[in-house]
Structure 1
Amino acid sequence: MTTRLTRAAAHARPPAPVRAVHLGLGAFHRAHQAVYTMADPDWGIAAYTFRNTELPRRLAEQDGLYSLQVRGDGEPQAQIVDAISRAHPGSDTDQWLADLASPDVALLTLTITEAGYQVSGDQDSAAIGRVVAGLRGRHRASGTPIALVPCDNLPGNGGVLREAIRTAAEGEDPGFRSWIEDHVSFVDTVVDRITPAATEQDVANAARLTGLEDRAPVVTEPFSEWLLAGDFPLGRPAWEKAGARFADDLAAYEQRKLWFLNGAHTLLAYVGPALGCATVDEAVGHPVLAGLTESWWDIASRHASLPAEDLTDYRQRLLERFSSRGVRHNLLQIAADGSQKIPARILPVLRAERAAQRMPEAPVAALAGWLIHLRDRPVRDPRADELVSLARSTDAPRRVLSTLDATLADDRELISAVEDYVEHLRLSSCPTG
């Protein structure tokens, strides 16, 4: 017999005062930033999602609480996370504007995916447009400073967000644009924690582990990392109590994360399904994919900024994380938004290799797998219609690659190699297990 998850049933503290707002309420935020924020009882989060209404409704019914299942190779461990004081759907526009205008709110964190930083024509509904609307209201209400903390996998994500905000605010009042420059800080971050989508079995496991009925559980791995660089004019939670680290420059760490973890994930996400594999642990257990992963890391190491011993240790930890069956990360989940991910994760290394007149197998395989994905599978990407049409057309490799990098699209040797690898993958298969 289980009891519905509430603060009373969980013997949790009352909701903390809202001093942080989050945009992009989903599993990763709840496995990462919310857990770090929970280490400071004086900070509560008002979390928003503009993608659905079901999750905020479930969290509201549970007083913002949810269970976090941490899975390694042994028995899962569960804890109740209480950092979210309020959860809201995107339709709650008035509350969003009120929270961003409040002088009690010191920061806004974001997990809006790489695609969310694109400034679209429909500014009222796009994530960046909503942020600008919130900043506009803050400027008019009090003009107090605020820190914006993007937590998506983009190189120099603080700078990317700054440029997106500047672009979206180009037609705004000059006084508002000047206020953004002087009173809004943009914090660079590197975030890392593998967080697959939860299943109905995870709901059952939450009840077994906690004795409480949780309709919004989160599953994650033991490893977690958060590196930050930037200013917090109104203060911040004591994230360091949960292991966050602060530095002056994150460029080398961003590069390591994007190339080694995210790049390997992207490689596996596109080549793995083409060979019949469904999850990361299956893929790295397959000899061909394991070899491609190691080859990718060897290639990336030639161009990485950190010392070789650091990279060797990081690779070993990644292999252990990828191989764990405690967190079975679905490859098709990782495959979303390839047009946003590949330019940051794969192309920098590929460009460097082609400049050295080398034809590396691993990035060629990733591009070939992406072409097959675009042609044969359901595609979730902001440019899906365009890319699917190109992938099914004649001269597909060149035309698809031209949407990412015109120079590489003119590399006839590379295009030929990708075409050959597409055919190679068609002739290959691997059993699932």
Structure 2
Amino acid sequence: MRFLTRDQLAGGAFDVAHTDGAPTLPVTILQVGDGNFLRGFVDWMVDVANGQGLTKAGVAIAQPLDQGIAPLLKAQDNLYTVLLRGIENGQEVESRRVVSCVSEALNPYADWARMVELSVSPALRFFVSNTTEAGIADREEAYAPGACPDSFPAKVAALLHARYTALGGSADSGLVFLPCELIEANGTNLKRIVLAHAKRWGLEAGFADWIETHNHFLNTLVDRIVPGYPKDEAAALSAKWGYEDKLAVAAEPFHVWVIEGPAHLSDELPLHKAGLNVVWTDDLQPYRTRKVRILNGAHTASALAAYCAGLDTVKSMMDDPTVSAYLNTVMFEEIVPYVPLPEAERQDYARTIMERFGNPYIRHELISITLNSVSKWQVRVLPSLKDAVARNGSAPAGLSFSLAALLRFYRGELAGGAYAGTREAGSYPISDNAEVIAAMSAAWAANGSDPKALVAAVLSDVRLWKEDLTAVPGLAARVADSLAAIEAKGMKAAMADLVAG
């Protein structure tokens, strides 16, 4: 079996889309994060733009941790395959591309000097990251020039100071930061913590001024499901492709990268001109609201009910006539009409989400979606429910049912420090913070035989919802009726009755 090399790729040894010549380009993008997501999202986009001649961007990938894939990348000439499979406009689609924009891969813990060398290069312009939601955190640590800092923001502060010192703090030496961590205001928060490090380390005032004036920390929103290495299919895919790729990344075709920043910066990284769904905007919030309410909200409104009904994956939920009918009702009648975007845009996005949910190549476990469902329901579902109440005077049936399903899911028992629920297929873990578990456990213990009392106790607990939900017109009554139906008939039968009207 052959392995990926630039010479073979450029010479036409492999029948696969790629940038002509597979050149090793000067590094203009420094990336902290070597995981599947960035490689199947940002780096894939950069490679597509390179292939169209819109950019000549080389990416240096730095591991965020001491353990990572830099050695594997180097062994493959910094090449890897992105395999896109899914549903578009009702049809299965598949495409494959070997990404060659990665010019270098390194472990900054083992070679901090090279990391600094890259950061002070005048050719460098962009800094991309995905260090997980916990990565952009303010953790105090000492400044030790010559040593790799532990936290990601401290790394950024140290690298920026090296660049400031080497290039004299000139106006044109600033960088554009594009963090992809899934937290709100990711760029704003990264900048705040970098400045905090600079202040604690006693660095010169001019450095902080340079950060403020000549560097851009942009807030971004990313969306693509990237399951990663197709382990179960690796042998078959290698035989089909004619080469082995230990770093292949499987992903869905859908992608969107929303970047909140000055329009002139888009000309420096014109990914949107390559037919990619990259949106530069001066207001990220409508796009965040769209994603949180339609994608995340639909997940939270349906996953717990579907799981209690005996289903295990999002795909099985879409294949089940009763559950999919419930989700369609909730999505298009109770969520989409209240998203503050043009009608055509929100309808198209919702239809795309439904296709993504039905992707046969992605196994998305429902139990994984149930993690911390109380806070998720409050953030993702409650705003749509309240907007429906404001327009119609009473809580909508489907979203109220989703809260009843949540209460049923949280019916469990404490044993050995763990809280577990039971469905027909057996027990399952209920994962949430200790305060939520204690409140739900106590409510079920005290009111398990009385749905109205249980609903009143849980919905009025402001620790859970940050407000008293019994004050929402019609909500408590609908939730109590739905919960009583679930307890009497079972989840799927209660759902069927709801859909039938």
CA contact (8 A) 1:145 1:233 kept: no
* Secondary structure of residue in 1 paired with 2:225: coil
CA contact (8 A) 1:68 1:79 kept: yes
2:358 corresponding residue in structure 1: 323
Partner AA of 1:126 in structure 2: S
Deviation at 1:149, TM superposition (A): 0.9
1:26 corresponding residue in structure 2: 35
Within 2, Cα distance between the matches of 1:362 and 1:165?
45
1:70 corresponding residue in structure 2: 84
Deviation at 1:387, TM superposition (A): 6.6
1:10 corresponding residue in structure 2: 9
Within 2, Cα distance between the matches of 1:139 and 1:234?
24
Within 1, Cα distance between the matches of 2:231 and 2:7?
24
1:112 corresponding residue in structure 2: 131
Partner AA of 1:96 in structure 2: M
**Identical aligned pairs, as a percentage?**
25
1:125 is the counterpart of 2:150: yes
* Secondary structure of residue in 1 paired with 2:338: coil
1:313 is the counterpart of 2:355: no
CA contact (8 A) 2:462 2:468 kept: yes
Among 337, 352, 364, which residue is 2:403 paired with?
Answer: 364
Structure-1-length-normalised TM-score:
0.79
Partner AA of 2:2 in structure 1: T
**Aligned CA distance change for structure 1 residues 153 and 137 (closer, same or farther; 3 Å):** same
Within 2, Cα distance between the matches of 1:105 and 1:339?
43
Deviation at 1:410, TM superposition (A): 9.2
Within 2, Cα distance between the matches of 1:49 and 1:418?
50
CA contact (8 A) 1:260 1:297 kept: no
1:284 is the counterpart of 2:318: yes
CA contact (8 A) 1:19 1:106 kept: yes
1:135 corresponding residue in structure 2: 160
Higher deviation after alignment, 52-61 or 144-153: 52-61
* Secondary structure of residue in 1 paired with 2:237: helix
1:103 is the counterpart of 2:134: no
**Aligned CA distance change for structure 1 residues 276 and 6 (closer, same or farther; 3 Å):** farther
Deviation at 1:108, TM superposition (A): 1.1
Deviation at 1:414, TM superposition (A): 7.5
1:213 is the counterpart of 2:244: yes
Gaps spanning 5+ residues in structure 2: where?
11-20, 143-148, 413-417, 421-427, 445-456, 494-501
Residue deviations 1:297-332 (CA, integer Å, cap 9, x gap)? 533334321022321222122212221213333445
Partner AA of 1:364 in structure 2: L
Deviation at 1:58, TM superposition (A): 1.9
1:179 corresponding residue in structure 2: 210
Residue deviations 1:161-196 (CA, integer Å, cap 9, x gap)? 444545555534344332221122122333322222
Structure-2-length-normalised TM-score:
0.70
**Aligned CA distance change for structure 1 residues 235 and 357 (closer, same or farther; 3 Å):** same
Within 2, Cα distance between the matches of 1:118 and 1:420?
41
2:293 corresponding residue in structure 1: 259
CA contact (8 A) 2:386 2:395 kept: no
CA contact (8 A) 1:196 1:330 kept: no
Within 1, Cα distance between the matches of 2:306 and 2:197?
38
1:407 is the counterpart of 2:474: no
Residue deviations 1:366-408 (CA, integer Å, cap 9, x gap)? 854885799446799xxx7757865785359969x87775336
Higher Cα radius of gyration: 2
Within 2, Cα distance between the matches of 1:167 and 1:415?
46
Partner AA of 1:109 in structure 2: V
Matches within 5 A, 1:160-309: 160-166=189-195, 169=198, 171-172=200-201, 173=203, 174-231=205-262, 236-239=268-271, 240-243=273-276, 244-268=278-302, 270-294=304-328, 295-309=330-344
Partner AA of 1:138 in structure 2: R
Within 2, Cα distance between the matches of 1:429 and 1:59?
48
CA contact (8 A) 2:323 2:492 kept: no
CA contact (8 A) 2:404 2:482 kept: no
Partner AA of 2:57 in structure 1: W
Aligned length: 426
Within 2, Cα distance between the matches of 1:177 and 1:372?
52
Larger RCO, structures 1/2 (Cα 8 Å, 6+ apart):
1
* Secondary structure of residue in 2 paired with 1:20: strand
1:85 corresponding residue in structure 2: 103
